[in-house]
Amino acid sequence: MKSLINEIIEERFRDGQLNNSQLTLVDLKKIGESFLPILVGMYHLRVEYP
């Protein structure tokens, strides 16, 4: 999932979608790292209760 997040951010960066955002590559890395636990929490397998 981490590689998917990085790919999405890199694609947005290459497309120029972040040109006017004043975000640095370090900022983008931190943002990507913050998404990982959120997405893992959203998509983890849940135990079925009877």
Domain count, the chain: 1
In a domain, residue 17? The reply is yes
In a domain, residue 48? The reply is no
Cα–Cα distance measured from residue 7 to residue 12, given in angstroms and rounded to the nearest whole number? 9
Verdict on whether the full-model pTM lies above 0.75:
no
In a domain, residue 49? The reply is no
Predicted pLDDT of residue 39 = 87
Residues in the chain: 50
pLDDT digits (tens, 9 = 90+) for 1-50: 889 999 999 999 999 999 999 999 999 999 999 999 998 888 777 788 87
DSSP assignment of 3-35: HHHHHHHHHHHHTTTTTTS---HHHHHHHHHHH
Predicted pLDDT of residue 27 = 96
Q: Could you list the residue range(s) of the whole structural domain that residue 27 is in?
A: 2-43
